[in-house]
C-alpha cells in the first residue's frame, strides 16, 4: 500500500460515505438550524402548563422530540463533514455553531423534567392512562419518576448546577496533567533510533518483540507519573470524594448505587462481575505461565504482557476482500441482517480510506433521520477487518432500531451498545479460526482473541474492583494517599496475575494514568458487555434461528426499556452471574487450545 496520503478529492466516490443524502443542499442545513431555534423558543410557552391536561403534556413531549431530532441532524452533519477534513474552516464553524445550538436548546428545554416531577405521581400516571398518545412516553415518564427520590428542591438543584463546573474540576486537572503537561522523554526503538515516547506510541512499544524496548518504555512512562504522584493522588482523592459527597446529597446509599441508578441496574450486577472473575483468576495465572514459556523467558514481567506470542507476517487485505470476510463471518446472523448490511456497503454508509486532514480512528454515527454512517481509516491489516465488523455491528444496531422505534427510543445505552459490536467481532473470529488450517496463523488468531478477552474482561474488572475499593474507603472516612493507592493497586495486581509474575515497582503507579477512573464505575460496562456478547455469540452459533431471532429483536429495541430487560430479550440475563461464568468457560477453552498448539 502506498505510504503517501491522498487528498480527499483523489479518493474514488465509491469509497466515501454518502453524507450528501442528509442535506443535498446546505441551505437546508441552515433552514433546519433556524427551525430548531424557533421551535425551542416556541417550547418555552409550555413552561408552567404541563399539568393543564394530557393533551398539553403530549403536545409538549412531541414538540420536544421534534426539536431534538432536528438539532441532532444539524449537529451530526456538521460533525461528519468536519471529520472528512478537519482543516476546513467552514465545517469547523458549523460544528461550533451546532454545539452552541445544542447548549441553547438544552437551556430552553431545561424546565421540562423538574416541572414534570412537581406533578403528583398519581396525576401523572392518570394522564398516561387517559391518553393513547402519552402511552408511548410511559417508559420515559417511569424513568423520570424513578429519579424523583434523588432530585432535590429547585433551589438546591440550582446551587448544585452552579457548582457543577467546580465539581468536574478534578477531571479537567487530570486531563491537563495527563495530556498537556506530562512528558515521557525518549527511548531507543528496535533500530536504535531515538523516538519520543507518547501515549499513542506506548502501546506499540509494549507490543514490541524486542524486550529491551518494552522495558525502557515501561520504566520511562511510569517515571513520569512517579514524579507527579502526590498531585495525582490528591486529584484522584478529591475526585472520589466528590462522587461520595454527591451521592449522599442525592440520598443514595453509596456512590456505586448512584452511578448505576441511571441505567436502573442493581449493585449486585457489579458485584457478580467481580465475584465471577475473581473465582476464575487461576485462568489468568495459567496464561501468565504460558507467556513465560512461549516467549522463552526466565521470568515474566508486567512489560511482557502485551508482547505477541506468535509473529505472523500478514499480507495486505484488500478492502473488498475484507467485506467478504465480514459477510462470511456474520452469516449466522441470518439473511435479513446480511442483506441489509450489504445494502449499506453499496449505498454509501462507509467512508473507507484515510485522506489528508481526516479524523483518525473509527466510529459509527448518524442521526435518527439518516443512514447509519461509519468512518474508517482502512489500512489493509487484519485489525482493520475486525474494525469493520465492530463498526458495522453498531451501524446495524442503529439501522434496526431507527427502523422500528420512534425517535424517543432511537438511541442505545453504553451498557447495550457495545454488545452489538462485540458479537460481530466474536462471530468473525470464530469463523476465521474454524477455517484456518495453518497452525501458525491459528495460534496468532487465538493469541489476539485471548488478549482481547484479557484486556476487556479481566483488566477492566480489576479496574472496577479498584474503583469499588477506593470509593468504599472514602465512604469509611479514609484519605487516598499516594502510599494507600499504590499499595492497594499492587495487591490487586498480585491477586489478578498470580505468584509467577514479577511485580516491577513501577506497576504500583498504574492507577495514576487511567482516565476512566475520573468517570466512576464506568469501566465495568466493557466487561459485562463483552461477557454478554460472548454468551450471545455462543447461543447464535449453537441454537441457530431461535437465538438469532431473539438477538435481532434486541437490535430493534433501542432504548424502549432498561438495559437488563433489553438484554433478556436477546437471551442473556445480566442480573445473574451465568453469562459471565459462560464467558469464563469460553476463555478456558481458548486457553486450552492455545496451550495445545504452542
Q: How many residues does the chain have?
A: 598
User: What residue has cell string 469464563?
Assistant: 584
3-state helix, strand and coil shares in percent for the chain, rounded to the nearest 5? 70, 5, 25
* DSSP per position, 402-450: HHHS-GGG-S--HHHHHHHHHHHHHHHHHHHHHH---HHHHHHHHHHHH
Say which DSSP state 7 is in: P
Active site residue 478: no
Task: Please list, in sequence order, all residues whose beta carbon lies within 8 angstroms of the beta carbon of residue 376, skipping any fewer than 6 positions away.
Answer: 350, 351, 352, 353, 362, 384, 387, 388, 391
213, 236, 488, 499 from 511: Cα distances, Å: 22, 9, 10, 21
Catalytic residue among 391, 467, 475, 559: 391
Beta bridge partners of 363: 375
Task: Please list, in sequence order, all residues whose beta carbon lies within 8 angstroms of the beta carbon of residue 173, skipping any fewer than 6 positions away.
Answer: 235
Task: Please list, in sequence order, all residues whose beta carbon lies within 8 angstroms of the beta carbon of residue 161, skipping any fewer than 6 positions away.
Answer: none
Helix (H/G/I), strand (E/B), else coil: 401? helix
Q: Please give the Cα distance from 589 to 541 (Å, whole number).
A: 16
Give pairs for 114-118: CB < 8 Å, separation 24+. 114/151, 114/154, 114/157, 115/47, 115/48, 115/50, 115/51, 116/50, 116/141, 116/144, 117/144, 117/145, 117/147, 117/148, 117/151, 118/51
Which of 525, 542, 539 minimizes the C-alpha distance to 571? 539
Task: Please list, in sequence order, all residues whose beta carbon lies within 8 angstroms of the beta carbon of residue 277, skipping any fewer than 6 positions away.
Answer: 457, 458, 461, 527, 580, 584
Q: Which residues are part of the catalytic machinery?
A: 391
Amino acid at each position: 500500500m502506498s505510504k503517501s496520503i491522498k487528498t480527499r478529492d483523489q479518493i474514488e466516490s465509491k469509497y466515501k460515505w454518502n453524507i450528501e443524502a442528509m442535506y443535498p443542499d446546505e441551505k437546508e442545513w441552515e433552514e433546519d438550524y433556524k427551525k430548531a431555534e424557533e421551535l425551542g423558543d416556541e417550547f418555552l410557552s409550555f413552561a408552567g402548563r404541563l399539568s393543564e391536561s394530557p393533551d398539553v403534556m403530549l403536545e409538549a413531549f412531541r414538540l420536544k422530540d421534534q426539536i431534538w431530532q432536528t438539532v441532532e441532524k444539524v449537529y451530526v452533519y456538521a460533525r461528519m463533514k468536519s471529520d472528512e477534513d478537519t482543516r476546513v474552516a467552514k465545517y469547523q464553524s458549523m460544528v461550533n455553531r451546532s454545539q452552541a445550538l445544542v447548549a441553547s436548546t438544552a437551556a430552553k428545554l431545561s424546565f421540562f423534567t423538574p416541572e414534570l416531577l412537581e406533578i403528583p405521581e398519581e396525576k401523572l400516571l392518570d394522564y398516561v392512562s387517559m391518553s393513547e398518545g402519552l402511552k408511548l412516553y410511559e417508559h420515559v415518564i417511569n424513568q423520570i419518576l424513578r429519579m424523583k427520590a434523588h432530585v432535590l428542591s429547585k433551589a438546591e438543584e440550582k446551587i448544585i448546577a452552579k457548582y457543577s463546573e467546580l465539581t468536574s474540576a478534578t477531571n479537567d486537572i487530570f486531563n491537563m496533567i495527563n495530556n498537556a503537561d506530562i512528558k515521557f522523554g525518549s527511548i531507543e526503538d528496535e533500530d536504535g533510533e531515538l523516538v519520543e515516547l507518547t501515549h499513542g506510541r506506548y502501546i506499540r512499544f509494549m507490543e514490541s518483540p524486542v524486550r529491551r524496548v518494552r522495558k525502557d518504555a515501561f520504566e520511562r512512562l511510569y517515571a513520569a507519573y512517579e514524579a507527579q504522584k502526590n498531585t495525582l493522588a490528591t486529584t484522584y482523592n478529591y475526585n472520589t470524594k466528590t462522587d461520595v459527597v454527591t451521592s449522599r446529597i442525592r440520598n443514595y446509599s453509596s456512590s456505586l448505587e448512584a452511578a448505576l441508578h441511571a441505567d436502573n441496574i442493581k449493585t449486585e450486577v457489579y458485584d457478580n462481575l467481580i465475584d465471577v472473575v475473581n473465582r476464575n483468576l487461576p485462568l489468568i495465572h495459567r496464561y501468565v505461565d504460558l507467556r513465560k514459556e512461549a516467549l522463552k523467558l526466565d521470568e515474566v514481567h508486567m512489560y511482557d504482557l502485551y508482547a505477541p506470542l506468535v509473529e505472523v507476517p500478514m499480507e495486505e487485505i484488500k478492502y473488498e476482500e475484507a467485506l467478504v470476510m465480514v459477510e462470511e463471518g456474520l452469516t449466522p446472523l441470518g439473511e435479513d441482517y446480511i442483506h441489509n448490511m450489504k445494502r449499506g456497503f453499496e449505498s454509501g454508509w462507509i467512508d473507507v480510506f484515510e485522506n489528508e486532514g481526516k479524523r483518525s480512528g473509527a466510529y459509527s454515527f448518524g442521526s435518527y433521520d439518516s443512514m447509519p454512517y461509519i468512518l474508517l481509516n482502512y489500512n489493509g491489516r487484519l485489525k482493520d477487518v475486525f474494525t469493520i465488523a465492530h463498526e458495522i455491528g453498531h451501524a446495524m444496531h442503529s439501522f434496526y432500531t431507527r427502523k422500528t422505534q420512534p425517535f424517543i427510543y432511537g438511541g442505545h445505552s453504553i451498557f447495550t451498545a457495545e454488545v452489538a459490536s462485540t458479537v460481530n467481532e466474536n462471530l468473525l473470529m470464530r469463523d476465521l479460526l474454524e477455517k484456518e488450517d495453518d497452525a501458525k496463523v491459528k495460534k496468532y488468531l487465538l493469541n489476539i482473541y485471548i488478549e482481547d478477552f484479557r484486556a476487556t474482561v479481566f483488566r477492566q474488572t480489576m479496574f472496577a474492583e479498584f474503583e469499588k475499593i477506593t470509593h468504599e474507603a472514602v465512604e469509611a472516612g479514609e484519605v487516598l494517599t499516594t502510599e494507600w493507592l499504590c499499595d492497594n493497586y499492587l495487591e490487586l495486581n498480585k491477586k489478578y496475575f498470580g505468584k509467577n509474575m514479577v511485580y516491577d515497582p513501577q506497576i504500583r503507579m498504574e492507577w495514576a494514568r487511567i482516565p476512566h477512573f475520573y468517570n466512576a464505575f464506568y469501566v465495568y460496562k466493557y466487561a459485562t458487555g463483552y461477557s454478554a456478547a460472548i454468551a450471545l455469540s455462543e447461543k447464535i452459533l449453537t441454537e441457530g434461528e431461535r437465538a438469532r431471532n431473539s438477538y435481532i429483536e434486541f437490535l430493534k429495541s433501542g432504548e424502549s426499556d432498561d438495559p437488563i430487560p433489553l438484554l433478556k430479550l436477546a437471551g442473556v440475563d445480566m442480573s445473574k452471574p451465568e453469562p459471565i461464568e459462560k464467558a469464563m468457560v469460553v476463555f478456558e477453552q481458548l486457553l486450552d487450545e492455545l496451550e495445545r498448539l504452542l
